[in-house]
Amino acid sequence: MGGAKNCPETPRQKMIGMMYLVLTAMLALNVSTDILNGFTLVDNSLHSSIAASDTRNAKLYNDFRAANADNPEKTQEWFDKAIEVQKRADSLFNYIQDFKEHIAILADGQKTVNEWKAQGIDPTMHIEGNSNLDVTGQYAIVQGNGLKLKEIVAYYRDFAADLAAQDAELRQSILQNLATERGYNAHEKDSCDWEVAIFDGMPVGASITILTKMQNDVRSTESQLIQYLMDRTDAGDLRVNKLNAYVIPNSNYVIRGGKYSAQIILAAVDSTQRPEYYIEGQRINDQGLYEVAASGTGLKKYTGWIAYQNPATGEMENLHFSSEYSVGEPAVTISNTDLNIMYRGYDNKFSISVPGVSNDKVKVSVSGASARQQGGLWIIKPGDGPKNVTISVSAELDGRMQSMGSREYRVKALPKPGAYFKSGETEYSEGNISRGALLNSGATVIASYGPDGLLDLPFQITSFKVNINGMLTEARGNRFTRDQLDRMGKLKMGAMVVINDIRAKGPDGKEVRLSPIALSLN
């Protein structure tokens, strides 16, 4: 079949091909009977090998099926893959058998093939036209069935090789036994397609033997894969020689009304192959005991891994983990019940926590006021109505919310601040003042609770008036007008400057009138 190939040809190659055709036609009349008998012996031997593989595979599948029935959780994944191997191997094996029977039909006729089948005998083992040099190439190359066979073999090969990816030796064996690379044929000087190399000009007896070898390779590969998958069910099992009992509590700190919970486990270890323990990339002691100073408060998270030797591969593998714990301040509750107050219209700042419980699991509800979290604090702002506000605290314990208690606070209006004349860093509420301090261009009027005040609130001066030698002038905001500064610059020593009708707006939005400031120039 020199003209039915996929190799590029030069005119010279075509001439050589024609010469091979003539030679083949001459040899076809007298193919050596000894050679054909040799192919028959090989084919019979291959059938015996296939029968042995079938017996071995049947036992492997039965053993695998029994193991899966006893422990499906451990073996189900691998057993499912084994069943998939069986389906694909049977499909390819049967396709090759059908391929062989079509060649037999072309060589001996449909009737002869059916007669052998009627007797329960494989017709491909009793072909009369074993020396025919044309029918194999006709079916495989001219009709395109060889290319289809190549694609089906390659599909099964790639599936099997991927399945055996963890075993380099088995994978390489599969790739070699089921190779479909370009090859050489007696008719070809250069390499040519796989189907041309093995079917073009090949006697029927030789082609049938090659196809039987493919079937044997399919069954052999199937055996290797099933054994490999059975081994994989135990591949990750660690060998142990020592048992320990451990109690792992959810928390060693339990609040009354909560629930103590601990997991009791049986741990198996291999005292001859101790794993290595790492926290945040740093190796710790061989006992896996992690101890660290509790610096800082809040939720602390950490990650690490355990490095151990995989008994299946002998390689070190890492088992990663993560955990967390909470660090709280030493807790003590001290309160002055007479001063349980908060201010109306003001962002009262509260630090609220539950010992042993992380802040993200603490819930705060407030009656008569708005509440929000800001940083690590709770901002509680009472409205105009209530005279009392109740703060209630609950925490999530063991997956459910539990009340931690409540506290009632009295609501008071913000106290009135004092008024000050500020020049530089000095604040004057009354008394003597130097000319330089009085005429400082950056001088302002401010509202403050003074250096000893308990509150530091942002009061805004909206307006004030200045009495200078009986002349009363008004300023908006907290700065003096140009006219006021000019008038104060003309004052003589001992003159009085009185700042009165000072009005300021507090954080609650209400405007208040502050006490006057009396200053004497000296």
CB 447 within 8 Å of CB 418? yes
pLDDT of residue 93: 95
What CATH class is the domain 337-412?
mainly beta
Longest alpha-carbon distance in the chain: 146
Quote the CA–CA distance of 146 and 131 in Å, as a whole number: 20
pLDDT of residue 353: 82
pLDDT of residue 463: 95
Sequential pLDDT tens for the chain (522 residues): 443 333 344 444 444 444 434 434 443 444 555 556 666 777 788 888 899 999 999 999 999 999 889 888 888 999 999 999 999 999 999 999 999 989 988 888 898 888 888 888 888 888 888 788 888 889 999 999 999 999 999 999 999 999 999 889 999 999 988 988 876 655 555 678 888 888 888 888 888 888 998 999 999 999 999 999 988 886 555 555 665 666 566 665 555 665 656 666 666 666 666 788 898 888 988 777 777 776 776 777 888 888 887 766 667 888 888 887 666 665 556 565 667 888 888 888 898 888 777 788 888 999 989 899 888 788 998 888 788 999 999 888 767 888 888 888 999 888 888 899 999 888 898 999 999 999 888 899 999 887 777 777 788 999 999 998 888 999 999 999 999 998 898 999 989 999 999 999 988 788 899 999 999 998
In this structure, which topology does domain 418-521 adopt according to CATH?
Immunoglobulin-like (2.60.40)
pTM over 0.85: no
CB 516 within 8 Å of CB 419? yes
Residue/partner pairs of 196-200 with CB below 8 Å, 24 or more apart: 196/4, 196/5, 196/6, 196/7, 196/141, 196/146, 198/146, 199/1, 199/136, 199/137, 199/140, 199/141, 199/146, 200/1, 200/2, 200/4, 200/5, 200/137, 200/141
Quote the CA–CA distance of 368 and 389 in Å, as a whole number: 5
Quote the CA–CA distance of 82 and 85 in Å, as a whole number: 5
